[in-house]
Amino acid sequence: MSNILITGSNRGIGLELTSQYARDGWRVFATCRHPGEADQLRQLAGRYPSISIHRLDVTVVEDIKAITLELKGTPLDILYNNAGIFLEEDYRLPALGGIRYDHWLRTFDVNTLGAVRMTEALLGNVAMSSKRLVAVMTSHMGSIEDIDMEGSYYYRSSKAALNAAMQGLAAAVRPRKVGILLLHPGAVNTRMSPHGISPEESVSGLRRIIDGFSLEASGSFIKYDGTPMPW
């Protein structure tokens, strides 16, 4: 049985990732901050015994240590860094003069540092598997080349920084034959953004990219439909 750990598994794309991998027979370590409130995830786990639910906040060092100890000696074919937040009320905000630096720092802590923390902590588990892949949910909004409108400073910069950090990590982990794949899910109809394609369509596309991944493509930034993304 192949193993995958998914952060932010309680809703949206993370929930759909959990559902599709479990349906296909994978052992899924599904993590979220508040398992007791994750009704849909718990219902899904009730249907698929291969899903286990774990409390994890990617900004809390103690939580990461706990999951690392729990998974000691367990190979992870895929570590899927999916957890993320968007604290701007709409894509045009914040306006100059209204920037909330505490919100900006929180966004960086989750979206950028959280993924790096998880990769660092569970790299050994990934390296002992057969697939050896760290998948990272990023965004077209992190493409510096394509910024042509104001606003979304917190989210855009957190994803641009995530892309840069993961590019460096891809080089660092290559000697261990571990790959890193940066994935843009497209505009998806979720709580974060109520417009776009379905989570099912997005995840199906993301999985096709993951299934075809080879180490030579490590560090690539790809849209769910296979389109290479601009940096």
CA distance 202 to 134: 18
Average pLDDT over residues 102-120: 98
91, pLDDT greater than 70: no
Instruction: State the pLDDT at residue 165.
Output: 98
Percent of the chain scoring above 70 in pLDDT: 97
Is it the case that residue 146 has pLDDT exceeding 90? no
- Grade residue 89 by pLDDT with cuts at 50, 70 and 90: low
| Residue 166 predicted with pLDDT over 80 | yes
How confident is the model at residue 192, as a pLDDT?
65
What integer pLDDT is reported at residue 194 of this predicted model? 66
- Better-scored residue on pLDDT, 152 or 29: 29
How far does Cα 111 stand from its chain's mean position?
Answer: 9
The alpha carbon of residue 186 and the mean position of all alpha carbons in its chain are separated, in whole angstroms, by 13
Task: Assess whether pLDDT exceeds 90 at residue 226.
Answer: yes
Q: What is the mean pLDDT of residues 198-226?
A: 97
What mean pLDDT value characterizes the chain? 95
Identify the residue with better confidence: 98 or 2.
Answer: 2
C-alpha dihedral sign at 46, 47, 51, 54: negative
Query: In sequence order, what are the residues at sequence separation of 6 or more whose Cβ sits closer than 8 angstroms to the Cβ of residue 152?
Result: 88, 91, 92, 93, 141
Question: What is the chain's percent helix, strand, coil content, to nearest 5?
Answer: 45, 15, 40
Give the pLDDT band (50/70/90) at residue 148.
confident
Question: 96 falls in which pLDDT band (50, 70, 90)?
Answer: confident
CB 81 within 8 A of CB 135: yes
pTM comes to 0.95
Measured in degrees and rounded to the nearest 5, phi and psi for residue 223 equal -80, 160
